[in-house]
Amino acid sequence: MNDPVYQATLNVEKYTLPLICVFGLLGNTLSSITFLKLPLRRAPCSLYLAVRGFSDNGFLLSLLLPWISSTFDLHLSQVKGVCQIIIFMSYVCGCVSVWLCVFITFENFLLIHNPFAARKVCCDYISKISTGLLVFFALALYSTSLWIMNRDCSPNRHLTELTQILVYTDSLITLVIPTVVIFVLMAVIAYKVLHILQIRKIHSKLSEVIIRDNPSATVHKRILPIAKVTKMLFVVSFVFFALNVPSHVIRLRILIGTFTKGHSTTSVTLATIQSAFQILFYLSFSINIIVYATFGLNFRTVFKKTFCGYVSPTISSQVQTEAINLVQTRRRSMTENNICPAARLIVPEFDRQCHSN
């Protein structure tokens, strides 16, 4: 293809790819180490995010090594086993990364839709089992890619049908199903958040009316489960979805055209668009640390403490002692005057026990 726009797009991809890979390798490594540090590693989603950083690095390496080989004329594809390992690594790491994003989105969905179920599902044990099964499934599924390629990194003509099955299966597992699942879960999360915000708005207006009509009335605010929604997790899912969908749509269109017509029918325009969207696809594996640092307060704190020697300001022991003494004094005063704690406003059974006393 001698189209100037297409050639310009290829040049942009050629020169930006190493920058994307190097930045991603560094950022993913630092972010994974951060998520494995206390207190972040106590959260189940931290394991997903840490493992995703390592799998993203594997995918970026599968992009960087061929670029190094072609740029410096190293002919790595002619080295026995190197090409097969690179293809295998790209398949496995791509699958693991996309499904870890699905797990993260599902966990965020449970936190807002059913917080009680989230306490059972979103635990360290479940996250370890899920991650282990995912890695095992990816290794078993894509092991076929190691022996469907010849030594010179060309497809084995005798295994053409098996190669096509692997390509279509990979497209279904890492493209169609995750995209649909993430889109549905994000739509439900957004709907729930908007619904809770609407309820809060109505509750706030009613509180203002009650206080205006009866200034002596006390209105107790109830905290709704929107606080359970992790903003950083939602942004992680959204960024992944936004950067992957354009490339997936073009790739799916090409696959459908190849499947229906029996041969590739990629036009110059479609190839140019695919190359441009491919850059966005690569970015989804390298800019995670920017998302974490921008929307994750706890991540920033642990990151600064781990790599910058930053120590968050703490309350002095004298202030802590004075606060403890104040709480103990108030408790003694409440006991002596037989006053029920403020918890009775929330738990009716406790309220009845106080009155019975």
pLDDT digits (tens, 9 = 90+) for 100-141: 999 999 998 988 888 777 777 888 888 999 999 999 999 999
Is pLDDT above 80 for 41? yes
Residues 6+ apart with CB under 8 A from 348: none
Q: What is the pLDDT of residue 114?
A: 80
Is pLDDT above 50 for 308? yes
CA distance 338 to 357: 8
Rounded mean pLDDT of the chain? 79
pTM of the full predicted structure? 0.79
Is pLDDT above 70 for 316? no
Q: What is the pLDDT of residue 202?
A: 77
Q: At 323, is the pLDDT very low, low, confident or very high (cuts 50, 70, 90)?
A: very low
Between 327 and 309, the more confident residue is 309
Q: What is the pLDDT of residue 336?
A: 44
Is pLDDT above 90 for 353? no
- Residues 149 and 155: beta-carbon distance below 8 Å: yes
| Mean pLDDT of all residues in 298-308 | 90
- Would residue 310 be called left, alpha or beta, if left means φ above 0 and alpha means ψ between -120 and 50 degrees? beta
Residues 6+ apart with CB under 8 A from 53: 28, 29, 31, 32, 35, 288
> Cβ–Cβ contacts within 10 Å for residue 145, how many?
21
Most confident of 71-75, 105-109, 219-223: 105-109
CA distance 304 to 245: 33
Is pLDDT above 60 for 255? yes
- Residues 128 and 47: beta-carbon distance below 8 Å: yes
Q: At 208, is the pLDDT very low, low, confident or very high (cuts 50, 70, 90)?
A: low
What percent of the chain shows pLDDT beyond 70?
Answer: 76
Q: What is the pLDDT of residue 211?
A: 62
Q: What is the pLDDT of residue 265?
A: 62
Between 312 and 37, the more confident residue is 37
Q: What is the pLDDT of residue 329?
A: 46
Residue 155's DSSP bridge partners are 149
| Mean pLDDT of all residues in 159-175 | 88
Lowest mean pLDDT among 9-18, 112-121, 342-351: 342-351
Q: At 325, is the pLDDT very low, low, confident or very high (cuts 50, 70, 90)?
A: very low
Is pLDDT above 80 for 328? no
Between 216 and 13, the more confident residue is 13
Lowest mean pLDDT among 23-27, 52-56, 78-82: 78-82
- Residues 142 and 88: beta-carbon distance below 8 Å: yes
Is pLDDT above 70 for 290? yes
